[in-house]
Copies of this chain bind each other. A is one copy, B any other.
């Protein structure tokens, strides 16, 4: 096996401090120490997501947290708009339909960004929707959506004293790497997973929930149990003893998350966003210097999706990169399978990871018969890096 370089959009590399926390012997989960750890983690998550809202941590993967966002905010028989321009946005619609929700799927071309004015128009046509579901970084296409502007369109559509529709955003792969101002942008429920910018293994689903969303939940009384967020809130409020959970939490993961949140705080979330901007732009410069095309109309900061050249067999390319150089990129999903590949700039990755990935791409392209000029991708990326100097990254795996 070659040296491994995980450059896919999740799971990302886990810092050593978190991995050592995961290796510690397990202690009981109903103790004052466990409550203190949870309290510290909730605070850290509020810092990362730029919110004063309640944060709920569930034992599940991202899709479970998406389900929690749906079943708690839209009643069976209620109505929702899904802004669908990729695999993960489509999943919002699938979840809604599984729970008997009338779902308006606003489908835009995959690779394009949803137009906020389309959302405004949709809301005029459907003033009775309980929530609009969208995506921060659509990791199937590499698009960063206009979450702030869509939030504005949704707020303007609310009646003066109405809270609906809620703005519910899948930030599973985006939050913590690309700018996301939960409160300032009016995000009522932000959904996040542990295995992306938070640099943990999969297994935690996280939701930041606004007061308007809590009120909507109280009105609709969710038909849910494990994912009933009202039950979780009751335990979170926990009185003088600090926050707790209704069911056994994945408390070793929560303890490991504390380690990563300390690193993130020390670095500063603004600095992490700025770093991802630079790494993403450098990658795009490198890709374009190779004559390849960036797929996304509005590329996310944290992920670059690239179209395969017509003459290249995508599966062979990805397999060779992984087997020869240990570079794990992601292929396309859904109808984009075989058409694009995806390079992440998420978590504990730095400038040299970007440059060595581009170098490996050059080597494998040539090997597979695509004409390349050695060093062209690296040169273009390095030029961007030199023009936008970063401090050494404290995010190290």
A26 adjacent to B8 (CB under 8 Å)? no
Question: For chain A residues 8-55, which have a beta carbon within 8 Å of chain B?
Answer: 8, 10-14, 19-20, 22-29
A316–chain B nearest beta-carbon distance, Å? 16
Query: Which residues from B are CB-within-8-Å of A24?
Result: 19
Chain B's closest residue to A65 (CB) is: B226
Q: Is the CB of A248 within 8 A of B10?
A: yes
Q: Judge whether A397 is part of the interface by a CB distance below 8 angstroms.
A: yes
Chain B residues with Cβ below 8 Å from A201 are 22, 26, 250-253
Question: Within 8 Å CB of A250, what residues of B?
Answer: 61, 201-203
A271 on the B face (CB < 8 A): no
Given known contacts A26-B14, A29-B202, A228-B98, A248 and B62 CB-to-CB distance under 8 angstroms: yes
Query: In the complex, what's the smallest C-beta–C-beta distance from A189 to chain B, in angstroms?
Result: 16
- For A14, the chain B residues whose CB sits under 8 A away are 25-26
The reply to whether B23 and A11 form a contact with Cβ atoms under 8 Å apart is: no
Query: How far is B98's CA from A41's CA once the two chains are assembled, in angstroms?
Result: 30
Contacts of A223 in B (CB 8 A): 98-100
Residue of B nearest to A97 (CB): B225
Q: Provide the residues of chain B in CB contact with A12, threshold 8 Å.
A: 26
Contact of A6 among B28, B67, B95 (CB under 8 A): B28
Q: Does A328 contact B (CB under 8 A)?
A: yes
Select which of B27, B100, B227 is within 8 A of A4 by beta carbon: B27
Q: Given known contacts A61-B250, A201-B251, what 6 new A-B pairs fall within 8 Å (CB)? A: A4-B25, A27-B328, A95-B226, A98-B228, A201-B252, A202-B252
